[in-house]
Structure 1
Amino acid sequence: MAENGVNGHQSNLLQWKVGFMNKKKKYLTAESFGFKVNTSGAALKKKQIWSIEQDPADDSVYIRSCQGRYMTSDKYGKVSVDVEAEEKGLNEKYQVVYSADGRWALKQQISGNYFRGLEEKVECFDKNPGEENWWCIQLYAHPQIHLRNVNRKRYAHLQDDELVCSELIPWGSDALVVLDFDEDDGKYTLKSCDGRFLSCDGTLENDASEKTKFSMEVHCGAISFKDCNGRYLSAVGKGTLKSKNTKVSKDELFTIEDSHPQCQIISHNDKSVSVKQGQDVTANQPLEEIEDTEIFQMEYNKESNTWAFRACNGKYWSLQEGPGTVEAKQAEPTKNSFFNIDWNDNGTVGIQGVDGKYLSNKPTGIVYSTGTTFEDCNKFRIRIVNRPLLILKSEFGYVGTKPKENQYICNKTKYDILQVEYDNKNGFYTIKNKDGKNWYVGDDNMVYLDESNSSKFQFQFCGLSMMAIRAPNGRYLCGEQNGLFKATAEEINATSKWEF
């Protein structure tokens, strides 16, 4: 993910954002005032998010609160995350012990005592782990991920009714895996892009069962999944995901990553941009005939607020100096690989190169830079293709409907799966629920489900796996802490950005 399984602020540490849930299904919480720690959290929100920083050398971990302070325990078993714990040492170092059913116990490095937490009491003085010492670990991550096998260095995707780790670059919606956490038993399920559950025997099942549930462990800076029989998920044979061994090796290690938007790019004359002819970027393919060569991954550069376009061959677009044409031939992005995107309110975009000129296409299809003035010939439409099913997450929780109501809110702990339909003619999206009912913005600017009416929305990408959604009234959908979900934002900011 953007912050899971990647290098932390020290190069030898790997970190994940997680929540710790005790036997009463309450979350470990770092209070904003007084540096107090308790287990009062009913859901995984900001104060319940902790960073696990793992040292791959010995699999020890450090646990950091959302305020940036490490959890420490002294010789008397007192636990705190106070101002003195801004740096880590042996008092902040823990070893992870795993139970047979996949829960974690944290053993303090110096004392050898186990960490426990019930209600207001959070202590570290038990010599042997009991029920109060075991924790279920919930990854704080968007459910739609890419799953990469460490040994094969390949990504999982749906192929021939199996999840197979064989793609060098995760391409298209079939490379999305949904990683779900079940609060009832603290286990995970892995679902293919069509909603089927991965079973420990490698088959894909329509319904969840004990065979589709896995517990999560961390080893050597990566993640492993253990099934109900004590065997670990591995990539077997051609790369098929199934359980095999009772011990963890590189074959049983995985990393999870955010997925970039992958898009079809449509020119002003309704042709798909393509690299079918080779490294030349051309807009000359029929709109309806879309293959991997007509899909481009958009990668965000935060420093310059620009985008790089990656083709299915792994090469990046590059604006050629002199002729001003675009070719997909760079193994790594250079300064000529980044483009500014102007999002227009009519469903079109302008793509501007490093030379300050907008892209267009010649009658032959060749994509090239034209002038600094935005004209009709510079209009493109961008259609996301790796999100036919959409899960939206705000800083306050997931987007979903109120219980027994048709109004949407944005602070749910469980998400709703949404269907996305794109209109090639105007560049706008229709959003539906799983039963096919439409999103509709009412007169009060709230979002409702409606069987007969539908609203048209524009997606604007604004960062890694982040988008803004513009409603028909010209305002952006925004969220509030109390769950209000409405089309009232005049600009894109933290409350109007949605992780997808």
Structure 2
Amino acid sequence: MPTNGLHQVLRIQFGLLNDADRYLTAESFGFKVNASAPGLKRKQTWVLEPDPGQGPAVLLRSTHLGRYLSAGEDGRVACEAERPGPDCRFLVLPQPDGRWALRSQPHGRFFGGTEDRLSCFATAVSAAELWTVHLAIHPQAHLRSVGRRRYVHLCAREDELAAEGDVPWGVAALLTLLFRGRRYCLQSCDSRYLRSDGRLVREPEARACYTLELKAGKLAFKDCDGRYLAPVGPAGTLKAGRNTRPGHDELFDLEASPPQVVLLAANRRYVSVRQGVNVSANQDEALDHETFLMQTDPQTKKCTFYSSTGGYWALVAHGGIQATATQVSASTLFEMEWRGRRVALKASNGRYVCMKKNGQLAATSDFVGADEEFVLKLINRPLLVLRGLDGFVCQRRGSNQLDTNRSVYDVFRLGFRDGAYHIRGLGGGFWYTGSHGSVCSDGELAEDFLFEFRERGRLAIRAGSGKYLRGGASGLLRADADAPAGAALWEY
């Protein structure tokens, strides 16, 4: 399996939702905690850390403050400990419905309450001491079976999800986790939901909803009968097995899903490595050899392209481009220039990548013309979830406008035509730019939006007006930003 940071297990960040539908919050003032927030944002985000003493207890650290939750003998709770002490140790006690009860290890009392009346003094578990885990990460990812050491893919021929892939290549490896009614659904790339019997269905019915459990940084999915999803049989078909306790076979890693792209050259053929190490525009259809995993270097903002054959694009002698590099270096980094519906790539020699007459790519041009421009298409996001600085993009209730500050998210459909993207809203209408730059979601005609992959895991979206989509202070999505930065960058 490729390394070099291509397959990164996500660090599980989450919110804790109480029985009153409010999130556990860590405040900067006085390092106090409360359960008053209706949404999941930075102050409501936590991570679990193991007990340094190697015991069964865990530590709860606020990602907002970088400090640890503690409970004193008198039941008072705070989030001010810079280093974990005995009072920071809690036992997580999963309940039959999947919620957590948190018990102080040194004092034996349970943590709970409402609003600003939180304490860790209850001697028994009631509704006020139960917490639902709500993941605070982007919900589109790859799922890897711990037991099988294989990735879950949509198998179109067998019409199922199966843990049978050595690498998460192509759109079939994308899964979307939907949080609905305190439970999770697993949605395949073709918008269907996994039911516990292994079937894929069009609606998120009861048997397609699962309680999420965390086990030492791994995920387990429990169905409504108390059984856990696991790969079953020689093909690794994903369905609920017989086990009512999660073991090795029922655990999964959630991994980041970097963008995978195809490039179309001026000769209307796809860039490929099908015929060897040379990168050439010589194929009429886009399959695995024409798909490249694209990542942006955090420091230089330049891009790398990784092929299904196991090599990075690299600049070689005489300006040629070959997919032979096993490590990221200066020769594998390409500067991306966004030119409307097309892109141009500049190699480390300061020259642009062009298509030669035989279709091979080489960095030999000093200027950009037709042979130096490519159509770049994102292929592993047919379903789009966007998260900005203040939260997820979600359609406003009873309106055609879009909020950008929600803790829940809507899943939008993505289309593509000649270098531009069309975004379809929940009701089937298209996104378009309305008055004063507001973005609406009920258009009969599709507006062309341009995607620019500016940072690792983040893109900018440019409207037909030339402005970038931005989340404003009002919480509405608007096309009014001049630069692709800050609130105009979206995790996707």
Query: TM-score, with normalisation over the residues of structure 2?
Result: 0.92
Code of the aligned partner of 2:343: V
**Aligned equivalents of 2:222, 2:194: Cα separation in 1:** 13
Structure 1 residues 307-326: aligned runs within 5 Å: 307-320=303-316, 322-326=317-321
Code of the aligned partner of 2:433: V
Residue 250 of structure 1, CA deviation: 2.1
Contact 2:311 2:326 in 1 (8 A): yes
**Aligned equivalents of 1:132, 1:456: Cα separation in 2:** 49
Three-state SS of the structure 2 residue aligned to 1:297 is strand
Match of 2:138 among 142, 147, 159: 142
Match of 2:401 among 394, 397, 407: 407
Give the superposed CA RMSD: 2.1
**Aligned equivalents of 1:54, 1:481: Cα separation in 2:** 38
The answer for the alignment partner of 2:43 in structure 1 is 47
Q: Is 1:210 matched with 2:206? A: yes
Cα-to-partner distance string for 1:204-258 (whole Å, 9 max, x where unaligned): 2223333222212222331111222222211122211112222332211111122
Residue 64 of structure 1, CA deviation: 1.6
Residue 58 of structure 1, CA deviation: 4.6
Q: Is 1:384 matched with 2:378? A: yes
Contact 1:407 1:448 in 2 (8 A): yes
The answer for the alignment partner of 2:292 in structure 1 is 296
**Aligned equivalents of 1:210, 1:431: Cα separation in 2:** 29
Match of 1:472 among 464, 474, 486: 464
Alignment CA distance shift 1:6-1:364 (3 Å):
closer
**Aligned equivalents of 2:435, 2:21: Cα separation in 1:** 40
Match of 1:196 among 183, 192, 204: 192
Alignment CA distance shift 1:63-1:373 (3 Å):
same
**Aligned equivalents of 2:368, 2:25: Cα separation in 1:** 51
Match of 2:430 among 433, 438, 448: 438
Cα-to-partner distance string for 1:33-83 (whole Å, 9 max, x where unaligned): 22221111112122222222246955532212212111111221110012x
Three-state SS of the structure 1 residue aligned to 2:318 is coil
**Aligned equivalents of 1:193, 1:155: Cα separation in 2:** 14
Match of 1:174 among 168, 172, 175: 172
Alignment CA distance shift 1:97-1:276 (3 Å):
same
Alignment CA distance shift 1:58-1:172 (3 Å):
farther
The answer for the alignment partner of 1:492 in structure 2 is 484
Residue 15 of structure 1, CA deviation: 4.3
Structure 2 segments unaligned to the other structure (5+ residues): 1-6
**Aligned equivalents of 1:241, 1:332: Cα separation in 2:** 34
Match of 2:331 among 330, 336, 339: 336
The answer for the alignment partner of 2:454 in structure 1 is 462
Query: TM-score, with normalisation over the residues of structure 1?
Result: 0.91
Alignment CA distance shift 1:222-1:133 (3 Å):
same
Cα-to-partner distance string for 1:270-327 (whole Å, 9 max, x where unaligned): 22101111222111122xx22111111101211221211111223221221x232122
Three-state SS of the structure 2 residue aligned to 1:260 is coil
Code of the aligned partner of 2:59: Y
Contact 2:39 2:406 in 1 (8 A): no
Structure 1 residues 16-95: aligned runs within 5 Å: 16-54=12-50, 58=55, 60-65=57-62, 66-82=64-80, 85-95=81-91
Alignment CA distance shift 1:260-1:103 (3 Å):
same
**Aligned equivalents of 1:458, 1:317: Cα separation in 2:** 25
Residue 453 of structure 1, CA deviation: 4.1
**Aligned equivalents of 2:410, 2:207: Cα separation in 1:** 24
Contact 1:411 1:481 in 2 (8 A): no
Code of the aligned partner of 2:269: K
Alignment CA distance shift 1:271-1:59 (3 Å):
farther
Match of 2:113 among 107, 114, 117: 117
The answer for the alignment partner of 1:354 in structure 2 is 348
The answer for the alignment partner of 1:11 in structure 2 is none
Alignment CA distance shift 1:313-1:123 (3 Å):
same
Residue 187 of structure 1, CA deviation: 1.5
Alignment CA distance shift 1:95-1:264 (3 Å):
same
**Aligned equivalents of 1:122, 1:6: Cα separation in 2:** 36
Contact 1:59 1:221 in 2 (8 A): no
Q: Is 1:164 matched with 2:162? A: yes
Contact 1:15 1:53 in 2 (8 A): no
The answer for the alignment partner of 2:274 in structure 1 is 276
**Aligned equivalents of 1:62, 1:15: Cα separation in 2:** 15
Match of 2:102 among 81, 103, 106: 106
Alignment CA distance shift 1:60-1:367 (3 Å):
farther
Runs of 4+ aligned residues of structure 1 deviating over 6 Å after TM superposition are none
Q: How many residues align?
A: 480
Structure 1 segments unaligned to the other structure (5+ residues): 8-13
Contact 1:59 1:219 in 2 (8 A): no
Three-state SS of the structure 2 residue aligned to 1:355 is coil
Cα-to-partner distance string for 1:412-439 (whole Å, 9 max, x where unaligned): 3443332222222xx2222222444222
Three-state SS of the structure 2 residue aligned to 1:370 is strand
The answer for the alignment partner of 2:224 in structure 1 is 228
Code of the aligned partner of 1:499: E
Residue 391 of structure 1, CA deviation: 1.8
Alignment CA distance shift 1:21-1:377 (3 Å):
same
Three-state SS of the structure 2 residue aligned to 1:146 is strand
The percent identity for this pair of structures is: 37
Contact 2:313 2:324 in 1 (8 A): yes
Q: Is 1:257 matched with 2:255? A: yes
The answer for the alignment partner of 2:246 in structure 1 is 248
**Aligned equivalents of 2:336, 2:363: Cα separation in 1:** 14
